[in-house]
Every structure is written in C-alpha cells, then in structure tokens.
A and B are shown apart, each in its own frame.
Chain A
C-alpha cells in the first residue's frame, strides 16, 4: 500500500513527518504546476471549481507515482469538498489507476476519523506512537505558519525584493527536515531572526485584508502567488485563515478559535443571516471587520463558479461598511499579466485613498490647533 495526498499549501510537510514517523509508504505528488492544472481540468466535469480540478490533478499525479491509497478530505458538510470523492475515484478508475480514495470525514468524524485512518495506514502502529507523531506534525504546522506570518510582513517592506521569499523557501526545507522538537524550535527561531534582520526600505506599507474561499486562500498556486505579488507592490497582507487553523478546525472544532469565528459571523449577520456553505458567510463578515478596522482594502479570492462566494460577491457591495474590494476569480483561465494589471490599478486606488485620508487628517489637526 502506498499513500498519496493532494496539495494544500504547505500541508504536505507535516503530513510527510507523520508518515515518516509511522513508517507509512507514501508519495507526495509534485507541487502544483501547469501540468497538474491542465490534467485536472481535462478530467473534471465542466464548470467545476479550481479546488476540484487541482486536487484531481494531484491525485492523478500521485497515482502515476504508484500511490494506490489516496487521501482526500470529504464527507458531508455543506458544499465544501463534500462531493468530490465519488467523481474523482471514477475518473481515476477510467484512467486505469486502480486506486482507492480514503475520505477523511472532515466535518463528520473529525479527529477520531482521522486517527482511525492513520492507525490503518500505519499498519496498526501503537496509539502512543501515533499520538506522538501527530503532536509533532502539528507543532511543525504551527511553526510553518508563524514563519509565513513573518514573511507576509517582511515582503512588503524589504529593501531588496525577493529576500523574504528566498528565506521562506529555505525555511520550509529546513522545517521539513527537522526531526525533533529541539531542531524544530531552533530552525524556527533562526529563520524568524533572519527575517527580522532583512533590511527595510522604510516605507509605510498599505495593509490589505485577504478573504474568500479557503482553498484558494491557502494554495498559492491557485491564486497565482497573490501574496508575493502584493509584497512586490509594497502591500502587507493580512489573512485570518491559516493552514494550522484550518487543520485544527477540520480535526477538532474551533477553526480560528470559536470566538474569532463567532465574531466574524456576528459581523456578517445584518447582511447574511446564515451559513450558506463553503466560506461565503465568513467572506462577508471579514469584509465588514476589515472595513471597521480601517484596512486600506480587501482582496476577495473566489474560485470561478464557486457558489457561496458568488452569493458573497453579490451581497458585499450592499454592506454599509465601505472599503474597496477587488474580487479575483481563480481558475485556469486566469493569467498572470491580467492579474498584475488589476492589482496595480487596485493598489493605485488604495494609495490615492490613503493620501486623501492623510491630507484630511492633517488639515483637521491644523484646524484644531
């Protein structure tokens, strides 16, 4: 039995750790690439969203490398991923890969389902070993996210563009290799210090909140590396959804911590009263919160044809809390040049808005003196 997984940002790193520690035979398919996407798009029913297509591509590429047991988040839950597995398994079969897909009942069985699955895959490893491996994997995931947060900040203000990204790539390799808590801690501290020491350009960055559907938020390939591009334009991004949180939410309960999530829903309430599946409710709530917190703007990421995000996109302009929103639809048609043009125009707009605000504030102060 050889296990294969689809990609979601850096999630493969802690999963590798888990598999290694439990002596599971596994393959990690190549990182998302044009090939992954075109394979996925070719074998997906028309009109499906990019999370489906990319994970489809991952599963095919994993099967090509001999994986016969593929893990996919699945199970009930509204909209989100719920239906993928049946079709994806059929596609694989039609392509002549006799692989079975193991559904991780993300919303149903949570942690228990996951542990049982790991137990099976690890050929009945003792529970103590499983728990230990799991804990370490989670620690790694948290470390990765902390480094990523630091990178998000540095990208916007580094003097030499690309420095933070280079450090980020190296840190991921090092975190991947770290095999005990001490090394893990040391690697993290080391890279955080290096990021801290990156020479800055002294400018005050624009701050943009990023919201939308979780897959396109967390998988940079699907959003054409939006965050790096914004960094190049001198914009600091803020995103509430991180992989560690998503994982914990999926496995346990409180995604952003229950209260954080409730706060978002509360903010959305006047405009959307209920969960509509996927992340539509959160997108609206985050728009309201980002506006209240005086962010410069919002980028709303939505997979093309994503139902909950279309609802969110239609409701957003009606909220009283005003803030510029740029919705980017992610799919295989989205090209980098087009996206960059739109980003530049958006950033220009935000800069002008900020200047206007600053001028107003200054003149306001002058008058009050």
Chain B
C-alpha cells in the first residue's frame, strides 16, 4: 500500500479529516507525524533562517520525522479558498521551501487550490492528485465527494455541537460530556490559527491550563461560519485567508459572548500582528471584554506564559465577581 505522510502542523488542523478520507478511499495508508515536541521544533529550526516563523519551523520538523517512513509527503498549496482572499506567502512556498531545506524529503504530493481560477481548475487539480493512486476518474471523484462531506461534518460537529477540535478530529465527540455552563465559570475565547491554538507544544498547553482553572474555552471553530462572516465584516473586510479566525472570532467574542479573549500569534507574522491589532483596538474601544495577546516564538518560556495567564484570569474573576449579584 502506498504510504502518504501527513505532517501534523499548519493546515493539518483545518483539513485532516478531508485528506484522510480522500487518501484512504483511494487505497493509501496515512502516516501522521506524532504531536509536536521540542525535538520536532529543534529539528525544523536547524534547517531554516532564524526569522522563519515558529509554525513553519514546527512544520518542517514534522516533515523530517516522516523521512523514510512514507512514500510521499502531502503538502497542499492553498493559494486562495475564497475569492480574492489570499494566503500567507509561507503557505504558498511550502512545497518548494521544504524541498530546498530538506533534500532527503520523500517526493512531495502537491495540489494547488485557487478558487480564483474557477471550478474546472479545481477539479483538474484534484484529479491530478488522485492519479497518483488510481487511473479511474470516477473513483477519484467519489473520494473527493466523500472527503468534502467528511470536512463538512467535521466543521459542523464543532460549530453546532460545540465540540473542540481535537475531539472532533478523532471522532471522539461522543465521549465528551455536555459542557455544563455554569454562570460563575469564566468563558475564555481564544483567537488565532488552529495550528497555534491546537498545538499544545506551541501554545504551552494553554487550553489544558485554562480548563484546569475551570474556565470554559471557546475557539473560533466553535462559532458558525455565518456568525463569523458577519463579525468579520463589522471590523473590516477580508484580505488574508483565515482572517475570520482572528478578526472574525475576535469581533464575535467582543459582543459580550465571553468573559475574556486571548489572542495567540507568533512573532514576526505580519498578517497576525495586523489582525490582532484590529481586535486589540476594538477591545480597547468598547472596554467590556478584557483582551490579552500572547506572541509566541521559539524561545518563549513556559514561566512567562504562565504568569501572564494567571494575572489575566485573576482580573477576569475579579471582574466577574463584581458583576454577579450578591447572594
């Protein structure tokens, strides 16, 4: 069986169920790299110039892990998934950059998605990808349809049933007991890319830590696309792909949906820093929901994140106690 390697980084967090369905339907076996560790980061970081952003270093570390463990590594290029909304340069250059800095990398399966080029182009791209596994067009089409449905289900489980991404991805949503929303529990909205919010190594186990303080965590995937779109429009227009994960979710949460917002970005990321800035300004203007941003990089220390988090939660709890009616 052909083995396809999937680096557990970047777009994995958004599209894995889709890819998994597609490739397994075509008879391939998937090899997903294990969760990020310090070793993953160090391996990736050793290959690139220091100013490369943290998520890309981590991504390359995952690719290095896959060397000799699979026949292909899958690295799609999502130029644009919405009309005239473009992705970060690093995504666009990912396959070529990987080849350049990891010469020992197995052959790369590429597919370029650009909705600006029309539907035919998209179909052609999917077909070419599928041809590595089967010459049968009908089979590829079926696999693509199933993949799309899997993606749709995955998104819906998150925004309709409020299931967190890791559980939705592994199909463990059944095991999650109903989140009891208790009014004294603080709700914290996280904004940022899924590859930051859901990579525990990158974000210093933020979600786990929040949950340990009995906070209820809400992530951008748990807001419906419609709500996100309206909220994004409130603060501006779309320009960068995935703007909704930051500006949209931020603007939505700011409408009193949570008790506090934490924005996660990485150092040196232009789009993130602009988008976080928009949310920060809006938060400062309306003053009702506290906002904190965490800018992570390779050398961010656990302790620093922890201290800031504690201070932020303290403030939220104090604020919450004040607004609760006295018993």
Partners in one complex: yes
> Quick one: which of B90, B95, B271, B278 contacts A310, CB cutoff 8 A?
B90
The complex places the Cα of A57 from the Cα of B100 at a distance, in Å, of: 37
Instruction: Name the residue of chain A whose CB is nearest to the CB of B49.
Output: A313
B84 adjacent to chain A (CB < 8 Å): yes
A358 adjacent to chain B (CB < 8 Å): no
Chain B 93-109 interface 0/1 with A at a Cβ cutoff of 8 Å (1 = within) = 10111011101000000
- Given the interface pairs A82-B239, A280-B93, the reply to whether A307 lies near B273 with Cβ below 8 Å is no
Q: Are B52 and A314 in touch, CB under 8 angstroms?
A: yes
Q: Are B96 and A305 in touch, CB under 8 angstroms?
A: no
B88 adjacent to chain A (CB < 8 Å): yes
Q: Are B96 and A87 in touch, CB under 8 angstroms?
A: no
A274 adjacent to chain B (CB < 8 Å): yes
Q: Are A310 and B49 in touch, CB under 8 angstroms?
A: yes
Q: Are A314 and B101 in touch, CB under 8 angstroms?
A: yes
The complex places the Cα of A294 from the Cα of B269 at a distance, in Å, of: 35
Instruction: Name the residue of chain B whose CB is nearest to the CB of A268.
Output: B96
* Chain A: interface residue total (CB-CB under 8 A): 38
**Chain A positions within 8 Å of B112 at CB level:** 274
The complex places the Cα of A280 from the Cα of B89 at a distance, in Å, of: 9
Instruction: Name the residue of chain A whose CB is nearest to the CB of B297.
Output: A47
**Chain B positions within 8 Å of A275 at CB level:** 92
Q: Are A79 and B96 in touch, CB under 8 angstroms?
A: no
- Given the interface pairs A78-B89, A314-B101, the reply to whether A45 lies near B51 with Cβ below 8 Å is no
User: Nearest chain A CB to B286's CB is how many angstroms away?
Assistant: 14
Q: Are A305 and B89 in touch, CB under 8 angstroms?
A: no
Instruction: Name the residue of chain B whose CB is nearest to the CB of A316.
Output: B100
Residues of chain A in range 55-114 having any CB-CB distance to chain B below 8 Å: 76, 78-79, 82-83, 86-87, 90, 94
**Chain A positions within 8 Å of B276 at CB level:** 45
User: Nearest chain A CB to B91's CB is how many angstroms away?
Assistant: 9
- Given the interface pairs A45-B273, A47-B267, A83-B239, the reply to whether A307 lies near B90 with Cβ below 8 Å is yes
Query: Interface of chain A, helix or strand or loop or mixed?
Result: loop
Q: Are B51 and A83 in touch, CB under 8 angstroms?
A: no
A308 adjacent to chain B (CB < 8 Å): yes
Q: Are A315 and B97 in touch, CB under 8 angstroms?
A: yes
Instruction: Name the residue of chain B whose CB is nearest to the CB of A77.
Output: B86
* Chain B: interface residue total (CB-CB under 8 A): 37
- Given the interface pairs A78-B86, A87-B277, A311-B97, the reply to whether A305 lies near B270 with Cβ below 8 Å is yes
**Chain A positions within 8 Å of B84 at CB level:** 76
Q: Are B269 and A311 in touch, CB under 8 angstroms?
A: no
B295 adjacent to chain A (CB < 8 Å): yes
**Chain A positions within 8 Å of B88 at CB level:** 79, 277, 307
Instruction: Name the residue of chain A whose CB is nearest to the CB of B60.
Output: A314
A276 adjacent to chain B (CB < 8 Å): yes
Q: Are A90 and B281 in touch, CB under 8 angstroms?
A: yes
Chain A 41-53 interface 0/1 with B at a Cβ cutoff of 8 Å (1 = within) = 0000111110010
A318 adjacent to chain B (CB < 8 Å): yes
- Given the interface pairs A48-B273, A276-B92, A315-B96, the reply to whether A86 lies near B278 with Cβ below 8 Å is yes
Q: Are A307 and B270 in touch, CB under 8 angstroms?
A: yes
**Chain B positions within 8 Å of A304 at CB level:** 51, 268
Q: Are B89 and A276 in touch, CB under 8 angstroms?
A: yes
The complex places the Cα of A278 from the Cα of B239 at a distance, in Å, of: 15
> Quick one: which of B86, B100, B236, B295 contacts A47, CB cutoff 8 A?
B295
B240 adjacent to chain A (CB < 8 Å): yes
Binding site for B on A (CB under 8 A): 45-49, 52, 76, 78-79, 82-83, 86-87, 90, 94, 271-278, 280, 304-308, 310-311, 313-315, 317-318, 327, 329
| Extra pairs beyond A83-B239, A306-B270, A307-B90 (10, CB < 8 Å) | A46-B295, A47-B269, A49-B270, A78-B89, A79-B88, A83-B240, A83-B274, A276-B89, A276-B93, A277-B92
